[in-house]
Chains A and B, each alone.
Chain A
């Protein structure tokens, strides 16, 4: 319990810190507005050209609300890989390692502290824009059902990004890996196009990968909040979370064995 309260305090401090510059927080979150507007233009024309009200089981309204949550998850998360890689490269990891807390749990607590308000504001601005463009979501209660999956998505993002960040133990620059990961998440996570619109073979592949658990699963759950779908999303997500957490700990321990900090 004492261990948990330590990380809870780190989380709370970062959460409060994230409110220190409200202008910065709001300014960053406004970015979702042009994104949602352009998505609306694209899908309005696409639905109209297809002459269909429903494509892949989704209406235009479903598609826009799906994309709003997908963007919220993506835009809400902090640049964990860059932070961790900077810690490794500039040697500041040495100052974190000698503190009485676990490096990975410390990073996770700070990442979550930075995420909460960012995501909330993105959801507010994105939600208002989509509401204005296509009306209210069909299942507003879906957001509550999707919450555990949204949290799971951030844990997944953290595991993958932390592994990318820790690769700074062996490579000089991790930015290329972060770009590629982000784009893979765009495609296989269904961030710009819902996976339901993909060809069947690609859907099957994408839905199995961790990217879909990190974006598609929670966003789709928001617009289709059924019990069976919830179980299916959560069980796949849990499997990936467990697998990636184990892998992350192994990568971290191996990286630590190679770490050399010069000077101070």
Chain B
């Protein structure tokens, strides 16, 4: 027998594990965003010039733009399958708190996309000849930043879920909300490269992440209650 309290916890872990096991063999969830990210980086020298020296100054910006785009592409379908096969409706009518399983899904999404991006980012920084002191801040900023992007992106993804492929609607609505994280994320790397105290922008990113963690799962749950159960 479970008491109501443990049932909430099961909501989180069950959905966290469910997402992980669903995606374990899926190329789509983890590898594709990374490939996309690297291809985007590879296009930039072709468009500008093969002179690697000039990249070190714009590398933080390029890294963050590619992370944002990859995260954007992957967040679009986070709720689509659950919406299509009806398990989202099952969640809505179940007695447990809806925000818990949604938070589990989001954490799983971050583990599957954000964390690999952060771990793979040194390769990107390497080809863009980012100075060595920028590596650690870059990884940390991507770890924190992608979690924020997943959380905030999921709010807009929950609005567009009934459209299936929303096309341009998701990017249009979500990119303005991503701007603070782009600013502070690239600033973290910039500060580290130019020898300034880089923990300050990183701390602001952490603050934003805490705020998003508190608000976004509840917001997504509320949106589903508003829009799916009329």
Co-complex (A, B):
no
